[in-house]
Structure 1
Amino acid sequence: MTRYPDYPFTSHRFRHASGIHQHYLDEGDGPPVLMVHGNPSWSYMWRRPVLALRDRFRCVVPDHIGMGLSDAPGEDRYTYTLASRVDDLDALVEHLITAHGAPETGWTLIMHDWGGPIGMAWAARHPHRVARLVVCNTAAFPNPHGERFRPTLRMPFWLLRDTHAGERLFLRHNAFARLATSPPFGVLRPMPRAVRAAYLAPTSRPGTRRAIQRFVQDIPLGPGDRAWPLLHQTGRALAQFSGLPTLIGWGLRDPVLDKAILTEWRRRFPEARTHVYRHAGHYLLEDTDQHFLTELRQFLRH
């Protein structure tokens, strides 16, 4: 793993019933902490929290199918949908509980980007398992802006999701992943060259980029979208978790997951401990150095 800076971890692979292998990290001992990434990232984005927490916690960090170091099957073998992602997470956690001694309860769930809908849909299936929540520039409810993106995002979203040009940008040029790791789209400060290379390494070939495109195409904006029923159901299920200890960390310069989404989280979780970073973007952990990491460590240790 030397090609990935600050990622000195042992790789594990879980074989799903379909025969597809999912890569994950399982570092440390203690209360379990489940970290769920979004699009277009992978478990590498959680490297600093794992390094900071594994002395006292068991850090479980999966790569979604088709991303990171997991298998990237064709669509004849895998359906790249929100529901499939939730099923994958459910199967992995059950495997760790039944075969690798993970506890049935007491899980802290940390979520970023698509990790919110995936993680909270999993939590809604097993509310007794979840003890704490950590929310980082994500959503798990319908878009507070309604069924359309804000005007500045409508054209890019349409181009990427619904056109042949968008498909070429995704599959031939890896444009989405490249933009997401560049200022001002995903971060405000340029990532170190080796760190950005690590983020992009799993998508170095066109055949490994399909999952990124499918995540964008699966964004649920209204009842006509495939992922909408599950997102709507997940949003309704959030109320049962509102009494849990919750930490919200938010980069205010996120161009997509904006302040309106943060406001909705705070409305639904009024007792949450919230830390807002005015000079951070979508990749909160990259832009805030140790600041949010310190808050996370303190939250988990009390």
Structure 2
Amino acid sequence: MSVAVHHRTVTVDGHEVFYREAGEPTAPVVVLLHGYPTSSHMFRHLIPALADRYRVIAPDHIGFGQSAMPSAADFPYTFDSLTEITAGLLRELGVDRFAMYVQDYGAPVGWRLALRDPDRITAVISQNGNAYEEGFVKPFWDGVFAYGENPGPATEAPMRGALTLEQTRRQYVNGVPDPSLVSPDNWVHDQALLDRPGNDEIQLGLFRDYLTNVPLYPRLHQYFRDTQVPLLAVWGANDEIFGPAGAEAFRRDLPDAEIHLLDTGHFALESHFADISGLIRAFLGRVLG
């Protein structure tokens, strides 16, 4: 059966937020939160695969994809701000309770939403979306943490290097046994958006702010222990950014967490879409009914 995916925008706090949506308006909601350096484009196949049972909503963060890109001088590019916009979007769309899929940058946004109102979250799917310090893979994070702790020309230079086409491509193909399964359209699309004038300052701002996520982890772990929210961790085990120890750590606070480590990398949907979509459908079917 064909599923209609709508491409829409809504104004939140004066900013146009783009989102993809499919499924019946009265169905249980699943919110898909993308990571860096991509957008809701990463969910282009997953949305129709879930929309026969769920109302699926996938926004582009401000500064990413088709959403507004105010300058770094006009908008505070922090994870708190991205969360405010996401919360505003859900409010505009009348979404009260929802399951969420978090990946990379989508994780700290999703964790903040959960900490604000734990009762709203019906389930969590984490695909290389970190919640534990064990997940940070060195040496990748050394440069990010150095820049966050001591911003300046010396620490900024490696971060600017992360904004290149070579590094964008690497995020997609590193750790993937058969890179031919990953469409080059991904990194070409992402890089075109990264290369927009002024977007470098946006990304540098978020790199600097990433350190604010780690102090939230103890509160997040308490949230896990208190709520025992159903959680599926489906993880690219070869990810050089968020390693498999980050997936396995969920069981420390959520003993019933369902964890699957797949032989792929950071953007696991690109090479293992059938596996991941099947695991998500089975998981949501059990926990949401």
Match of 1:21 in 2: 16
* CA spacing shift, 1:15–1:231, aligned 2, 3 Å: farther
Q: Deviations over 1:250-277 (max 9, x none)?
A: 1110112112212211222210222211
1:49 and 1:125 map into 2 onto residues whose CA distance is: 27
Corresponding residue for residue 63 of structure 2: 66
Quote the RMSD (CA, aligned, Å).
2.7
Alignment correspondent of 2:285: 301
Aligned match for 1:165, one of 152, 157, 162:
157
Q: Evaluate the alpha carbon distance shift between residue 188 and residue 281 of structure 1 in structure 2; reply closer, same or farther with a 3 A threshold.
A: farther
Structure 2 counterparts to residues 47-86 of structure 1, below 5 A: 47-86=44-83
Asked whether the equivalents of residues 44 and 199 of structure 1 are also in contact (C-alpha less than 8 Å), the reply is no
Partner SS, residue 166 of structure 1 = helix
1:152 and 2:139 matched? yes
Give the Cα separation in 1 of the matches to 2:21 and 2:62. 17
Q: Does the C-alpha gap of structure 1 residues 201 and 151 become closer, same or farther in structure 2, counting only changes over 3 Å?
A: closer
Which letter maps to 1:14? V
Deviates more, 1:265-274 or 1:30-39: 265-274
Instruction: Decide which of 232, 253, 256 is 1:247's aligned counterpart.
Output: 232
Aligned residues: 276
Matched to 2:220, the amino acid is T
Q: Does 1:274 align with 2:274?
A: no
Provide closer, same or farther for how the CA distance between residues 31 and 155 of structure 1 changes in structure 2, counting only shifts above 3 A: closer
Does the 8 Å contact 1:134/1:248 carry over to 2? yes
TM-score (norm 1): 0.80
Considering fraction of residues, name the structure with more helix. Answer: 2
Cα gap change, 1:187 to 1:63, in 2 (>3 Å) = farther
- Counterparts of 1:1-302 in structure 2, within 5 Å, are 9-17=5-13, 19-29=14-24, 30-97=27-94, 102=95, 104-105=96-97, 107-141=98-132, 143-144=133-134, 151-153=138-140, 156-157=143-144, 162=151, 163-166=155-158, 168-169=160-161, 173=164, 176-181=167-172, 183-184=173-174, 189-190=179-180, 191-220=182-211, 226-242=212-228, 244-277=229-262, 279-302=263-286
What fraction of aligned residue pairs are identical, expressed as a percent?
A: 25
Contact 2:248 2:259 in 1 (8 A): no
Gaps of 5+ in 1: 1-6, 221-225
Provide the C-alpha distance between the structure 2 equivalents of 1:178 and 1:211, rounded to a whole number of angstroms.
Answer: 20
TM-score, normalised on structure 2? 0.84
Deviations 1:9-53 (A, max 9, x none): 432222122x22111112111110011111112101111210101
Amino acid at match of 1:28: G
